Structure 1
Amino acid sequence: MMIRALILVFALLPVFAMTGAEVRANDGAREIVWADLLPEGESERLARLQQMQAIELGFEHFGAEQLPQIMSFAAVEELDGQRVRLGGYILPFDYFSGGRVTRFLLVPYVGACIHVPPPPPNQLVYVETSEPVEVEGLWDPIYAEGVIRIQRQDTDLAAVAYTLELESITPYRP
């Protein structure tokens, strides 16, 4: 029972990594947190699915690194097309001199997608810009602002349920 409780805690950790901020307007953008990307009841369903996978594969201890990605593309329809601001971390696909990137995943916690399994697709945001943006440090949290779309992307790192048409990146300030 204790092992199941610990698996549940670790399963929900990425979901609530940046919660606590209330939704508010910021220069016309709706500030959201990672839990806002999950449809109602989705966090509980994902936690149960991850726990069942661990047990089924014989990983009742912390063998989660060998679990496949939980594939939930369930998305929050009301967010589609909204201008939002979301805090997270950059996981770049490309990295140019001077710390510039044009394609990256916005992830809820440091190390997401580097360590497996990656977060579920509805806890990842694919971002692509026509002009490279400069980032100070890859391990530093940022706010990404732009128009969010429910649009599936299959990348080398993970499957993704949302894309963001990036307008700006700013350092994360709680």
Structure 2
Amino acid sequence: MKNQFISIVMLMVLTACEEPVNSESLQATWEDLIQEGFTPKELILKYQIDTYEADDPRRMQLIRAMEEEWNSAPVNENLDNKKITLTGFIVPLEIESNAAYPTVSEFLLVPFLGACIHVPPPPANQLVYVKMESPIAMPNDGEAFSVTGIMKTESVNNELAEAGYNMKGLSLETFSNESLNPNTE
């Protein structure tokens, strides 16, 4: 009887010490993903890509040089293994159309509408590769989403860009705030 009592007390103590499964997530901004001291605007000014015509070979050389630096943009290591919520736009990577409607389970979460379509794409520390636990319905163009998941500071390279972060997506919600898209102002 005494052993059962001790076992029950030990179980209660151990259970109380565990982190709750549905712990609150950190509401992160895109600025939070940038390591202190790294300024993307300075990098853009350094290369002055816009001073050349789109078909100028010198422009393409500058873009390649800038992409090398952007692909190694430092990430915020404090976010590693943290449950965070981040709002942005979805660039689908894998579209599954075997259901009644197309679904997506892998995508890039980007800070603004049109990222990864424009050259160059945002720096690696501004791109998050997300793999959802369950596929989601194919999003409409221009819709912003808040994604909650476990963030890792491990880069993922794909045909569109180098993502400085990857996330195990746990949940996703539509976000409606026009101020997220600087291209609409």
Normalising by structure 1, report the TM-score. Answer: 0.74
* 1:93 CA drift (Å): 0.9
CA distance, structure 1, for counterparts of residue 30 and residue 123 of structure 2 = 12
Q: Give the structure 2 partner of residue 120 of structure 1.
A: 123
Of 153, 160, 163, the match for 1:160: 163
Structure whose alpha-carbon radius of gyration is higher: 2
The answer to whether the Cα contact below 8 Å between 1:73 and 1:160 also exists between their aligned partners in 2 is no
The answer to whether the Cα contact below 8 Å between 1:99 and 1:136 also exists between their aligned partners in 2 is no
Of 51, 71, 74, the match for 1:60: 51
Q: Give the structure 1 partner of residue 41 of structure 2.
A: 47
For residues 13-36 of structure 1, the C-alpha deviation after alignment (integer angstroms, 9 at most, x for no partner) is xxxxxxxxxxxxx96011011000
* 1:77 CA drift (Å): 1.1
**Structure 1 residue ranges (4+ consecutive) displaced by more than 4 angstroms after TM superposition:** none
Of 25, 30, 40, the match for 1:29: 25
* Counterpart secondary structure, 2:94: coil
Mapping of 1:73-92 within 5 angstroms? 73-92=73-92
Of 77, 81, 106, the match for 1:103: 106
Gaps of 5+ in 2: 1-21, 178-185
* Counterpart secondary structure, 2:136: strand
Change (3 A) 1:165 1:62: farther
The answer to whether the Cα contact below 8 Å between 1:91 and 1:138 also exists between their aligned partners in 2 is no
For residues 43-82 of structure 1, the C-alpha deviation after alignment (integer angstroms, 9 at most, x for no partner) is 2xx322222222xx6x43686x852322333111111011
Q: Give the structure 1 partner of residue 6 of structure 2.
A: none
Could you tell me the percent identity over the aligned residues? 31
Of 126, 130, 153, the match for 1:150: 153
Q: Where is the helix percentage greater, Structure 1 or Structure 2?
A: 2
* 1:146 CA drift (Å): 0.5
Gaps of 5+ in 1: 1-25
For residues 89-132 of structure 1, the C-alpha deviation after alignment (integer angstroms, 9 at most, x for no partner) is 00001223324101100000111001110000000000113531
Aligned Cα RMSD in Å? Answer: 2.2
